[in-house]
Structure 1
Amino acid sequence: MPMVEQPLRSRVSAANDEGCDFPIQNLPFGVFSDGQGPRCGVAIGDMIVDLAECEARGLLEAGGTFRAPQLNDFIALGRAAWDRVRARLTELLAEGADEDVPLVPMDKATLHMPIRVTEFTDFYASKNHAFNVGVLFRGPENALPPQWTHMPIGYNGRASSVVVSGTDIRRPMGQVKAENGPEWTACRRLDLELELGAIVGADSAMGQRVSVEEAEQMIFGYVLLNDWSARDIQAWEYQPLGPFQSKALGTTISPWIVTQAALEPFRSEGAARVNDLLPYLREERPGFYDMTVGWTMNGQKMGETNYNVMYYSSAQQLAHHTESGCPMRVGDLLGSGTISGPTQDQTGALLEMTQGGKSPVKVNGADRTFIEDGDRIGLYGFAQGDGYRIGFGPCTGKILPAD
């Protein structure tokens, strides 16, 4: 457990509960509405700070960006603005502070997409997950491709199907392999992927390469991310160019963006290196976090592990993304790839947990291999400090039948 300072206490009493996801040390950003139009807010205990109203009253300054229905404009102001607003909110919400802060009960609010997702890239950065899936498709001898331990592997996904927690996901139709050629059918092997998503907070120019250190400074914060996967469609389509329709059905993110500043006390080393990385991917300091992540199916806990099992950090992924001179934009979303530990109960996908459907698991007393219609999948994540936790809140989605 990392050494962390004795926690502050908040004027919002629920924020002082040890199991609360949103203590004063967290202050994650999101977008909410409560009868008025969507606007920016910060979670504290069981309340939401109305940032637009705070700015209207002169309690803080962000160039009017908090009136927008997404955080992109505020994020684009840069790290100095992020730090200034966070410091001011800490003053306003500390125990004993007496300025009138506009607070909205969280249970009276609707949460929306926190950002306008400009682009979505999903990576494949857990060595445990990559090996387990490789064994299923190619056998243990060829489980990891030869380049895997040398660079982050990823693919460009669809920003248009990224949705906020609580949005239902429709089971996809698609081509799957059959005995006498392809069959067009509803997906039979629907799966989840437990991931962490990084929000890019600064632009880079076309032709510009970004170092790992610069990439670290470009990341605004993190969300939980479930990249839903149609495994039978994926198995038929993924060669030679990788996943396509099997990953386009939906990607669910949590509504609150936990900032880098909130996670800073929990920095951790990642998985042990198999070989040295090329200089452009080497980190000056650890880029991972000591953070519990897990998932549930219909309320039952299934897999749980720690984010620090990952092999490539978000900063390394972002730096690699710009290697060719690819420009990045505020609001780009980078998925970590499935987070899996070394044992079956630490896996972040049913594909691994059930050995490709060969070994069913018990869910509320019934044998299960993949996700069925009506199932609800939930992700959770938190970093545990001394008397407080930095949590993400819920990230859930329910599967509807194929149309």
Structure 2
Amino acid sequence: MAPLKSWLQINAKSHFSLHNIPFGIISTPDTPEPHAAVAIGEYALDLQVFSQQNGFSALSIIQPHQKVFSEPTLNAFAALGRPIHRVVREYLQSVFLDNGPFPDVLEKNEQLRKAALLPLKDCKMHLPMFIHDYTDFYAGLNHAYNVGVLFRGPQNALQPNYKHLPVGYHGRASSVVVSSTPIRRPNGQILTNLAAEKKEPVFSECKKLDIELELGCFVCKPSQLGEPVRIEDAPEHLFGVVLLNDWSARDIQAWEYVPLGPFNAKNFGTTISAWVVLMDALEPFANAGMANDTELLPYLDEKDRKSNYAIDLSVSLTTSSGKTTNIGKTSAKNLLFSFPQMLAHHTIGGCPFNVGDLLGSGTISGESKNEKGCLLEQTDNGKTEITLEGGEKRKFLENGDTVTLTGVCGSEEGALVGFGDCVGRIDPAVQLSF
């Protein structure tokens, strides 16, 4: 797409171009209470200050609701619905547009610029939404197949239900944290001798700590108990997308997951990026996703609608020595099911949703070795090692390792739509004695 030109100086390589306008929650030394903002280039536009000083004077539809920008989460803004999200985002774009219709709002208003346009480096980021509930899906077909091969062989890699429905499990909303929050290595039960006839676990810190490269999607429209969300209506229930790292304790999971699935192996921490990229910002990059050779039941059939997105994803690992290695690149096109399909399936039995509920995509991997979204795949469950910059090697994460996820749509400089970083550092496990 042709880049939009702003009167504000924005680096052409910035993921927060004028085409983006992602929403988040910030605080500053002058305003320590968390409140709403949008990212633009290397700046945050403080929406609390902007609204209180008549920044929305030319957008009458939002004026009765301006208090949402003083809230400590985006839930109240999200609950206004996608039509409101759309006009607010388009209005902010027009405010920053070179030779735009509203130069007096910000461009020529020096007082408001100084008060509301803040360097991102001076802003503390907070969790963007209050998350009532969190569900993690398993929609990355290549990842599901690769992991299935590791544990069941190629003939039984995918379970019979896999292509019929988006497989998922309920995660723990209370341990979803914003980017740059340290993650403590978990303790739990593990098997040290997998070949032993009698399976006897020991209590230990996790030895196989892993990442999972995912996307997360927030819900903005609630549904009622007993009332499914129809597949054709599902997009209007979706607010925006973040990067998501669902940290995984592979050895704890191997012992505990039968028969009910992940539990302590997943509930110790999930990291999301701080800025929510609205669904409308992603629309120009809509993609059909992976082809499904299985005929879906009608309640999941999107027909020809494109509901996945061409997001280029990357994972890097920085060791405590300070050296950084890119350990994987892939695309969000490698998803078999979309977020509307996940929501439609999740509610088909009558499960209600709240504003702020979070859906995780599941690990996203491509087909080649350098497109794997987790170390479990990259190292064949620890059978091989990956070599990092400086010669260090890894099978799984070590204490002090920092993992950074990035994601961006498009390649046209000046028109990039990205998410910012999703960062987490591994801290040592709590030392316990019994």
The number of equivalent residue pairs is 397
Identify the residue that residue 318 of structure 1 maps to in structure 2: 343
CA distance in 2, matches of 1:162, 1:147: 28
Structure 1 residue 120 and structure 2 residue 139: aligned?
no
CA distance in 2, matches of 1:216, 1:385: 25
2:228·2:350 contact (CA, 8 Å) conserved in 1? yes
Structure 1 residue 233 and structure 2 residue 233: aligned?
no
Identify the residue that residue 8 of structure 2 maps to in structure 1: 12
CA distance in 1, matches of 2:218, 2:371: 25
- SS class of match (1:63): helix
Greater than 6 Å deviation, 4+ residue runs: none
CA distance in 2, matches of 1:219, 1:24: 22
Q: What TM-score results when the alignment is normalised by the length of structure 1?
A: 0.97
Q: Which amino acid aligns with 1:381?
A: G
How is 1:220-369 mapped onto 2 (pairs within 5 angstroms)?
220-284=239-303, 285-298=305-318, 299-364=324-389, 365-369=391-395
Flag structure 1 segments of 5+ consecutive residues without an equivalent: none
Structure 1 residue 111 and structure 2 residue 107: aligned?
no
How is 1:168-247 mapped onto 2 (pairs within 5 angstroms)?
168-179=182-193, 181-247=200-266
Q: What TM-score results when the alignment is normalised by the length of structure 2?
A: 0.90
Structure 1 residue 76 and structure 2 residue 79: aligned?
yes
Change (3 A) 1:194 1:252: same
2:81·2:236 contact (CA, 8 Å) conserved in 1? no
Q: Which amino acid aligns with 2:312?
A: T
Deviation of residue 385 (structure 1)? 4.5
Q: Which amino acid aligns with 2:385?
A: P
2:230·2:299 contact (CA, 8 Å) conserved in 1? yes
CA RMSD of aligned residues (A): 1.1
Identify the residue that residue 395 of structure 1 maps to in structure 2: 422
Flag structure 2 segments of 5+ consecutive residues without an equivalent: 57-62, 107-112, 194-198, 319-323
- SS class of match (2:222): coil
- From 379, 382, 407, the counterpart of 1:381: 407
Deviation of residue 11 (structure 1)? 2.2
Deviation of residue 92 (structure 1)? 1.2
Identity %: 46
Deviation of residue 99 (structure 1)? 2.1
How is 1:31-180 mapped onto 2 (pairs within 5 angstroms)?
31-35=25-29, 36=31, 37-60=33-56, 61=63, 62-96=65-99, 97-100=103-106, 101=113, 102-179=116-193
Deviation of residue 357 (structure 1)? 0.7
1:10·1:23 contact (CA, 8 Å) conserved in 2? no
Deviations 1:80-113 (A, max 9, x none): 2111211211121112434234211111111111
- SS class of match (2:44): strand
Bigger CA radius of gyration = 2
Deviations 1:338-391 (A, max 9, x none): 000011100100000111111111112222100000000000000014332101
Could you tell which deviates more after superposition, 24-33 or 283-292? 283-292
1:291·1:382 contact (CA, 8 Å) conserved in 2? yes
CA distance in 2, matches of 1:287, 1:99: 35
